[in-house]
Structure 1
Amino acid sequence: MGRVSNRLPTRPGRAVPTEDHVRLARHLAAALAAVVAGFLAMGVTAALGLWAAGATDLPGGAGAFVAVLAAVVVMATGGQIGLSGDAGALAGTQAELTAMPLTVTLVGAMVTGSVFLRPLRHHAVARAGDLLTLAVPTVVLWLAALGGVCALARRDFPLTLGGGTTEETGDLGDLFGDLLDAANPSVGFRPDVGPTLFYGLLWILGVLVVALLVSRRTPLPPRLVRHHQAVRPAASAMLLLLLAYVAVGLVIGLVVAATKGHAAETLAVLLLGLPNVSWLALGIGIGGSWEGRAEGPFGLPMPQILDAVLRGGDGGRELSRVDLSSLAAQDGRAWWLLPIAAVLVLAAAFVMAARSPARVPPWRHALHLGIALAVTLLVVTPLTLVEARFGLSILGIGDLEALGADVFLRPHIWRTVGLGLLWGLVAGLLGALLATRVHRRGEVPDNGAPADRTEAGPGTGPGTGPGRDD
C-alpha cells in the first residue's frame, strides 16, 4: 500500500503559509492592536479632561476641539508644541509652553505595554527574534500614527483684547486693545514634527522596555534570564510605588471635587495632570526640591498651596523654592508628605523582597532598591517640569502686565535623585528584614524538606522561564 500524506492539498502555484509567516502575521496584528489601543486610550482620557476644562467652548467648534485634543496627545508622548501669535505690525508676541499631561501619558503607556506583551505570555521562553518581530512593527506603526496626530495638532484662534472698562485697563490699555482688535490678532499652536518624532521614538522604546522589566508573566530571552532576579522585582516594586501615589492623589482629588466645589476644574486636573502632582509629592516627601515662579493672571493647574509658594507673596521676580518646609509654611498639613513617603517606600521595599528569592542577602536588597528608586526619580522628576510664558509688546515700547504671564516649575534633579538613593538603601534593608517572615521562592523549611514548588504553578521548572516562577 502507498503512504498516506499528511499534507493538505493545495492549488497549483499557491504557496502554503509556513509557521514563521503565521507568527509574523500575528505579531503584526498584535503591534497594530497595541498602537491603536494606546492612542485610543490617550485620546479618550485627554478628551474627558479637556471637556472638564471647558475646551468644548473654544471658538471654532468641533474642529478646534479636535486640534487641541491632538496637541495634548502629542505632548503626552513627549512631543513639542510651538505657540505663535500674530498682531500685525502693531505688536510682537512671545509664547512658550513645555509640559506633559502625565495622566494621558500614564494611561497610554500602561495600555500600550499591556497589549504589546500579551502575545508573549503563552511562551515558556521568549526568543530574541520574536521580540524583534513584535517590537519593530510596533515602533514603526507608533511613529506613523504620531505623525498623523501631528497633522491634526495645529490651529489659530482669534484674540480679543478690547472691550474692557477704563477702570480695569486704563485709558492707554483700552486704546491699545482697540488698536489690536482692529489688526485681527491671533494666537495658535503648531507641532515641531522633527523633535516630536524623535521624542516619540524614545517614548515608545522606553514604554516597551519598561513593560518587559515590570512584567512578572512575560519570559525574557535566554541571555537576559540571569538578570531577572536583580531587575524585575525592583522594577515592579517601583511601578507599584508610582501607581500607589497616583491612587492616593486620585482619592484626595475626588474628595476635594465632591466637598470643596470647582468639581469640573478638579476633574480636569485629575484627568490631565494627576501624576504631575502625585510624583511631585513623592519627590518632596523624601526631601527633594523644586524652584519656580508664577506671575501674571495665569497659574498652574495644581493645588492652591503650590501656587501660593510660587507667587512668593512679595510680588518680586526672585525664584521661589518649593520643598517640604516652604509648603508647610503655607499649610501645616504638608508635613504629612514625609510619613506617607516613608510608608509607601517601605511597602515597595517589602514587596520587592517578598518577590525575590530567599537566598538574596539583605544588603543586596538595599542596593537593588536604592538604585531602582534613584533611576525611577531620574526618569519621572524631569517630567514634572512646567514652563509657560506669554508676552505681548506694544509698538516695541514694553509689555502690558495684564497680558503677560510667566509660570514655571523646575526640579532640582540631582538632589532628588541622591535622596532617592539614600531612601532606597535604608528602605531596602528594612524591607528585606521584614520579609524574612514571609515564605519566599527557594526557601527551605526548618524540617529540611524541600520547599513546596506547587505554589509557582504546575509548569514550574527549568523550561518555564523566569516569568512563571515569580
Structure 2
Amino acid sequence: MIDSVPARHGWPQALAAVLAGVLTMGLVAGLGLLLAGAGELPDGAFPSVVAATVVTAVGGTVELSGTAGALAGGGAGMSVVPLSVTLAGALVTGAGFLRPLRRRAVAGAVEPAGWAARLAAVWLLALLGLALAARHTFRISLGQGTLGDLADLFGVDPEVGFTTDVPLTLAVGLVWLAGVLLLALLVSPGAPLPGRLLRARETVRPVSHALLVLLLAWVALGALAALGVTVGRGHRAETVAVVLLGLPNLMWLTLTLGLGASWEGRVQGPFGLPMPQVLDEVMRTPDLSTLDLRALAARDGRVWWLLAVEAVLLLAAARVMVRRSPAGTPAWRHGLHLAVGLTLAVLAVFLLCRAEARYGLSLLGIGDLAGGLGGSLDLRPRWWPGLGLAALWGFVAGFVAGALPRRRRRPSPGAGTRS
C-alpha cells in the first residue's frame, strides 16, 4: 500500500539520522584504529585520531606537521581516504534520509528539499565538532642506544601533529552529504521522486542501482577473502583493521584492474598500503612502477582470475539493470546506459582510491635520521585508458544483457482485480 500522507521528518528525526551516521563512522574508525595499534599512541591522541579519520572519510582536510628541534627537520603529508568508514557512513546516512520518504511513489520537490536542508544543518554542526576535535600533537620516541644519544646531543625532539582546515572541511563535507542524499534517491527502488524527475526512474535509477550492487558485491568478496585469510593464516587483528578502514580502497582498486586499467605507484620505507603481498612487491621499487594485471600475474598467475570474476559480476549487474528498465528498451541503449554509468563509477574510484603519504626526519638537513622514520607512498591511476576500458566493458555487458531473453515477472495474486 502506498502512503500519500507526508511522513514526519522534523528536527528530532534529522538529529537522529545524522547522529546514526556519525556514530557509525566513529565506531568503524575507532575499532579499525584500535586493531591497527593506534590505541597505543602517546599523550591521549587516540580520540583525536578517530575524529581525524572520520573527517577524512567525508572528504575533509587533515594537515600533518612535523618538527624535530633546532638542528633537525621533519616533514609529513597524507592524502588517503578510509573508504570503509566512508561507505558505512554513506549507507547509514542515506538510509536515514530515505526512511521518512518510504512507501510513496511521488513527492513534491519542496518536501525532500526541506528534509535535506534539516539534515544539512545538523550535519554541519556535527562536522564542525569533529573538525575542532581532530587536532593533536604528540612526540615520537627515538628509543635507546646510538640514535637516542644523537638525538639528545643535537637537541632533536621529534613531534608529529595534525589539524584540520575547518572552512574547507565544512564545504567539502557538505558536498559529500549532498552526493550521498542524491545517490540515495537514485539507487533506492522505493524512494519517491519529484514529478519532474520521474523520467530518471526509467533511465538513471536502473543503472545506478545496478552499479551500487556491483560495488557492494565486490566489497563483499573482499570481506570473504579477508575471512579466509584470518582463519587460514592468522594476522587477525591486522586483517580486521584493513577491513574496517580500507577494504573498499583495495577491492575497488582491483575492480579497475580487472577491467584492464592500470595505476602508477611506489612504496618506500617501512609502511605501505594495506594490500596483499603481491601488490606491495610490484610497488616497492625505486621509481614509479606500473600496477596492472600483467605485472601482478608475473608474480602470481592466479591474478588472471580477476578477469573472469569481473565479467561474471558485471554481467550480473547488467541483468539487474535490464530487469529494472522499461520493457522494450533496445539492447544498444542498455549498453549505452551501462557504459556511461560504469565510466562515472570508475572515475569516482580513481578519485577516491588515489593515495599519497610521506614522512621524513633529517638531521642537519642530510637524509633521514633513521631509515625507520622516513617513507613515502604514491598511488595514482592512468586516467584515460582506464575510463575508455570502463566504457567498453559497460557497453558490451549492457548490450549482451539486453539481448538475452528477458524473464517475465509473475503477476501478483491480486493483479487484475478491482477493490
| TM score, norm. by length of structure 2 | 0.94
Partner of 1:278: 251
**Which amino acid letter does the alignment assign opposite residue 125 of structure 1?**
V
Q: 2:59 aligns with which of 60, 78, 82?
A: 78
Structure 2 counterparts to residues 31-50 of structure 1, below 5 A: 31-50=14-33
Displacement of 1:102: 0.4
| Secondary structure of 2:326's aligned partner | coil
Pairing 1:216–2:189 present: yes
Q: Distance in 2 between matches of 1:28 and 1:151?
A: 23
**Which amino acid letter does the alignment assign opposite residue 259 of structure 2?**
I
Partner of 1:105: 86
Displacement of 1:453: 6.7
| Contact persistence 1:76–1:101 (CA under 8 A) | yes
Partner of 2:229: 256
Pairing 1:119–2:96 present: no
* CA displacement 1:98-131 (0-9 Å, x = unmatched): 1011001000000000110111113331110101
Q: Distance in 1 between matches of 2:45 and 2:96?
A: 31
Partner of 1:432: 402
Q: Distance in 2 between matches of 1:185 and 1:59?
A: 13
Displacement of 1:276: 0.4
Structure 2 counterparts to residues 332-347 of structure 1, below 5 A: 332-347=301-316
Pairing 1:176–2:153 present: no
| Secondary structure of 1:189's aligned partner | strand
Unaligned segments of structure 2, at least 5 residues? none
Q: 1:59 aligns with which of 42, 67, 82?
A: 42
Partner of 1:409: 379
Partner of 2:361: 392
Q: Distance in 2 between matches of 1:308 and 1:457?
A: 63
Q: Distance in 2 between matches of 1:336 and 1:175?
A: 53
| Contact persistence 1:50–1:268 (CA under 8 A) | yes
| Secondary structure of 2:302's aligned partner | helix
Return closer, same or farther for 1:354/1:123 CA change in 2, 3 Å cut-off: closer
* CA displacement 1:411-437 (0-9 Å, x = unmatched): 122222211110000000111122x23
| Contact persistence 2:105–2:190 (CA under 8 A) | no
Partner of 1:240: 213
Q: 1:380 aligns with which of 322, 345, 349?
A: 349
| Secondary structure of 1:196's aligned partner | helix
**Which amino acid letter does the alignment assign opposite residue 430 of structure 1?**
V
Count residues with an aligned counterpart: 413
**Which amino acid letter does the alignment assign opposite residue 362 of structure 1?**
A
Displacement of 1:196: 1.4
Partner of 1:322: 291
Q: Distance in 1 between matches of 2:137 and 2:417?
A: 61
Displacement of 1:267: 0.6
| Contact persistence 1:233–1:356 (CA under 8 A) | yes
| Contact persistence 2:105–2:193 (CA under 8 A) | no
Say which one has the larger Rg. 1
Displacement of 1:303: 1.4
Q: Distance in 2 between matches of 1:454 and 1:206?
A: 39
| Contact persistence 1:30–1:116 (CA under 8 A) | no
Return closer, same or farther for 1:202/1:458 CA change in 2, 3 Å cut-off: farther
Q: Distance in 2 between matches of 1:457 and 1:250?
A: 44
Let me know the Cα RMSD of the aligned residues.
Answer: 2.1
Displacement of 1:359: 1.6
Partner of 2:340: 371
| Contact persistence 2:14–2:119 (CA under 8 A) | yes
| Contact persistence 2:218–2:255 (CA under 8 A) | yes
Q: Distance in 2 between matches of 1:246 and 1:311?
A: 25
Q: Distance in 1 between matches of 2:416 and 2:248?
A: 36
Q: 1:160 aligns with which of 120, 127, 141?
A: 141
Displacement of 1:162: 4.2
| Contact persistence 1:98–1:388 (CA under 8 A) | yes
